[in-house]
């Protein structure tokens, strides 16, 4: 096991990783921007270093500065969390070149699997069904030919995408030109790569993902599914596990196929396979996230396995000490993402309590929310033995959560969990008006 890990991130995920390391007896190194000088993750880590200005490009995306800091601090590994450098193959390769372990897949796997169009070609060699689509298209003209062949409506998606960016729905041919320009421009801005591909638009559908964990010895387990259909502009708002839209027999089958697919592509680490579930109960593979997901917490609450600790153990070469037959998915868990609706300074925080209520956050009194980073303030997660009890628990927890000084989406989350469509589990990607 590593004796010291640098966490190349900020906010609640940096806090989450530091806490996991402390429980494992691993020393931690925090890095921070000038804007995060008083942040919680800086205070919690054993060591902390300022690595640049408030812009992410000056600090959390500054690969050379992070590598130099890790070497200076004597860290053996770097945990990237999610976002920032978590899916950056160049950074993973730079870690390896400098004798540091990147807590995640190797750079070759990352390059192979992060290109969504290429990944679909690999998945077609497994038993999973892939949404009809194309490889990367090099021009608007090629996109037009492909769209006519697939049949409208189609989705334009960034090959190097993530976080809902670089995605456009194209219903008719006359909309393609503007959508192509918008998707490629957004992809260049967000990822430095403007390549896009097309896929058939499946409607109506649920967004269901499967959490997997794999070690370097060929052991792969699936830790169940999460329903991520509650989205606005392709940004997830809340997630639950298991999905109320997946029958148990279908769940068992898709989990088996997912494990088989991950073995065939040779993936190592924590990862997520994302699907669209159509009205006929068919699972259509969309993409794979080769990192920790924001919503990993609901899976942890349901199955009782710490994904962050196992990410670190797998990176250290430790084999999984449990098999698929030991995974128990009894009960129901739900996560509500608590986002800032503007800048501000935290005046007062009251966190709900009780059995199986968890709030992953970076908030402390005086925390300043700046415009430089993601709006996520924390994640409120609850677990109960039944979905009905889980919903009651979440409503109570949202009513009890108090954040003063920063505008938030708490009221909106409460309206969602009180909506009859959500209560009955009869929801899909159209819930928030997405079409």
**pLDDT tens, 257-292?**
999 999 999 999 999 999 999 999 999 999 999 999
Is 345:366 a contact under the CB 8 Å cutoff? yes
Angle at 79 (CA atoms; ends 78, 81), nearest 5 degrees = 150
Q: At what angle do helices 11-24 and 307-315 cross, to 10 degrees?
A: 70
pLDDT in tens, 330-378: 999 999 999 999 999 999 999 999 999 999 999 999 999 989 999 999 9
pLDDT in tens, 379-403: 999 999 999 999 999 999 999 999 9
As beta bridge partners, residue 220 has 214
The CATH code of the domain at 132-200 is 3.30.1490.20
Enumerate the domain spans of the chain: 4-103, 132-200, 205-423
Distances (CA, A) of 270 to 103, 216, 335, 425: 10, 12, 19, 28
First to last CA, the chain: 47
Q: 174 or 189: which carries more pLDDT confidence?
A: 174
Separation CA 134–CA 115 (nearest Å): 12
Please tell me whether the peptide bond between 433 and the residue prior to it is cis, using omega within 30 degrees of 0. Answer: no
Both tokens assigned to 318:
């430790």
Q: Is the full-model pTM beyond 0.95?
A: no
Place of tokens 């990147």: 102
Whether the predicted pLDDT of 434 surpasses 90: no
Q: Which of 335, 314, 403, 409 is nearest to 365 (CA)?
A: 403
Q: Is 143 left (phi over 0), alpha (psi -120 to 50) or beta?
A: alpha
341 assigned to active site: no
Give the number of other CB atoms < 10 A from CB of residue 69: 22
Separation CA 26–CA 19 (nearest Å): 10
Catalytic residue among 10, 226, 291, 313: 291
Name residues whose C-beta falls within 8 Å of residue 129's C-beta, 6 or more positions apart in sequence: 282, 283, 284, 285
- Predicted confidence at residue 412, as pLDDT, reads 97
Domain 4-103 sits in CATH 3.40.50.20? yes
Whether the predicted pLDDT of 67 surpasses 80: yes
On the question of a common fold for 4-103 and 205-423, the answer reads: no
The CATH code of the domain at 205-423 is 3.30.470.20
């Amino acid at each position: 096991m590593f004796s010291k890990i640098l966490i190349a991130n900020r906010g609640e995920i940096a806090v989450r990783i530091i806490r996991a390391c402390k429980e494992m007896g691993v020393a931690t190194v925090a890095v921070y921007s000038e804007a995060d000088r008083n942040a919680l993750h800086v205070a919690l880590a054993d060591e902390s270093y300022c690595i640049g200005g408030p812009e992410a490009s000056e600090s959390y995306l500054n690969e050379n500065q992070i590598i130099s800091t890790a070497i200076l601090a004597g860290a053996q590994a770097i945990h990237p969390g999610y976002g920032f450098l978590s899916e950056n193959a160049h950074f993973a390769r730079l870690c390896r070149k400098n004798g540091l372990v990147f807590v995640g897949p190797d750079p070759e796997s990352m390059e192979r699997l992060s290109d969504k169009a290429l990944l679909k070609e690999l998945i077609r060699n497994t038993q999973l069904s892939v949404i009809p689509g194309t490889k990367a298209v090099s021009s608007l003209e090629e996109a037009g030919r492909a769209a006519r062949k697939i049949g409208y409506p189609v989705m334009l998606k960034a090959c190097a995408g993530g976080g809902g960016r670089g995605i456009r729905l194209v219903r008719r041919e006359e909309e393609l030109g503007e959508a192509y320009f918008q998707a490629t421009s957004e992809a260049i801005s967000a990822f430095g790569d403007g390549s896009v591909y097309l896929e058939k638009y499946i409607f109506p559908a649920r967004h269901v993902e499967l959490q997997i964990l794999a070690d370097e010895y060929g052991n792969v387990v699936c830790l169940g599914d999460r329903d991520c259909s509650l989205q606005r502009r392709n940004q997830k708002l809340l997630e639950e596990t298991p999905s109320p839209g997946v029958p148990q027999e279908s769940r068992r089958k898709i989990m088996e196929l997912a494990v088989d697919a991950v073995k065939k592509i040779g993936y190592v680490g924590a990862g997520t396979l994302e699907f669209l579930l159509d009205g006929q109960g068919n699972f259509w593979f969309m993409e794979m996230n080769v990192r920790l997901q924001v919503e990993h917490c609901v899976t942890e609450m349901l199955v009782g396995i710490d994904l962050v600790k196992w990410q670190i153990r797998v990176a250290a070469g430790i084999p999984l000490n449990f098999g698929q037959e030991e995974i128990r998915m009894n009960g129901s868990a739900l996560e509500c993402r608590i986002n800032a609706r503007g800048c501000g300074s935290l005046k007062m925080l009251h966190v709900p309590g009780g059995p199986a209520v968890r709030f992953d956050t970076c908030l402390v009194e005086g925390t300043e929310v700046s415009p430089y980073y993601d709006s996520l303030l924390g994640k409120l997660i609850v677990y109960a033995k039944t979905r009905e009890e889980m919903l009651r628990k979440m409503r109570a927890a949202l009513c009890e959560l108090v954040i003063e000084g920063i505008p938030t989406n708490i009221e909106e989350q409460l309206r969602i969990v009180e909506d009859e469509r959500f209560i009955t589990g009869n929801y899909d990607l159209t819930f928030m008006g997405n079409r």
